[in-house]
Structure 1
């Protein structure tokens, strides 16, 4: 069950299943403030990067069946955050829509491209330096990104160009993600009231 309250570009969203319980508040026009408790330390750390570097205000509290594994909590956080973005963007009129951002982290460099096109698609290209990052299988971090793209209805292309340390690689990705989401979700005063598409519609 999901309950949603939307006011402008602010969204309050709660999602309850037998596997997870997630409460979230997202303000696209924030200052990078965050309070995140997912039960998974490294997920908290990565979401903090998105909020801080994206200048989003994000509050998230998640309780999941961590006694099983991390899968449901990581996946559902991606779904809920993605849905919050989709709802906060509304009809997407005036949106910049597309953005490309790079972020370094010591030995690592990542590139993230976002297009709030209304068509969900994700491409993740990385040679991870570790099988697990933050105690979470690297495949699950990719699944988080895919889940976010699905529910936010965006094209998401992620490339880890290089890196020797898995922590650094993933942190570069999430920092670049925050910056790309910030740029793509901005409103362009030259396009206010207009759908940013030559066909006049953004939908799946």
Structure 2
């Protein structure tokens, strides 16, 4: 089993994260932001990752540090995945009512994030919509992976939730074990 734990303690947050890449989609998540919990639960369920996240953050300031530090911890956990014998690339096309997300991931050992989410309102359920792109940028940076996404739709809740579902599905594909694969790189090396 590929199980990774990360603890991050700062003056702003205290985060505990545990992920089982080979799980079944069980989760126990408490970030203090119910809608963020819902998004991470969707990621866990649709990616079949067992995920535990417990956060005590400075929500009296705002949601930024909590969202950012969860993304840092998730990225650090994902950076620990052995790159040998995995698919490396993952993708998903996820519709959710009026919204649709196209997501592609490369566990390349190089950090890059490119997304087109442009929020039409400032908040969704207690989370600043500007933190949605920041979440994926931070995961990509600390996880040393490429994340590319395009999302369309009218309803902000649907667009954001489809992003997190697509992230789970694409990451599940990228992390699948295939003994034939070796290291998928002409360099025969991935960080």
TM-score in terms of structure 1 length: 0.90
Cα deviation 1:82-119 (Å, max 9, x = unaligned): 111111x13x1011000110111111001111000000
Contact 2:117 2:133 in 1 (8 A): no
Cα deviation 1:17-66 (Å, max 9, x = unaligned): 11110111110000000000000111100000110000000001011111
- Aligned match of 1:65: 58
Pairs aligned (count): 191
Q: SS where residue 130 of structure 1 aligns?
A: coil
Separation in 2, partners of 1:175, 1:187:
21
Separation in 2, partners of 1:101, 1:12:
26
Is 1:143 equivalent to 2:134 in the alignment?
Answer: yes
- Aligned match of 2:184: 196
Structure 1 residue 197: deviation in Å? 0.6
- Aligned match of 1:74: 67
Cα deviation 1:56-79 (Å, max 9, x = unaligned): 000010111111110000000001
Q: SS where residue 60 of structure 2 aligns?
A: coil
Separation in 1, partners of 2:148, 2:125:
22
Deviating beyond 4 angstroms after TM superposition, the runs of 4 or more aligned structure 1 residues are none
Contact 1:129 1:163 in 2 (8 A): no
Contact 2:114 2:147 in 1 (8 A): yes
TM-score in terms of structure 2 length: 0.96
Contact 1:75 1:143 in 2 (8 A): yes
Q: Which runs of 5+ in 2 are unaligned?
A: none
Which of 167, 170, 173 is equivalent to 1:177? 167
- Aligned match of 1:14: 7
Q: Which runs of 5+ in 1 are unaligned?
A: 1-7
- Aligned match of 1:46: 39
Structure 1 residue 196: deviation in Å? 1.3
Separation in 2, partners of 1:202, 1:21:
31
Contact 1:128 1:169 in 2 (8 A): no
Separation in 2, partners of 1:171, 1:68:
25
> RMSD in angstroms over aligned alpha carbons?
1.1
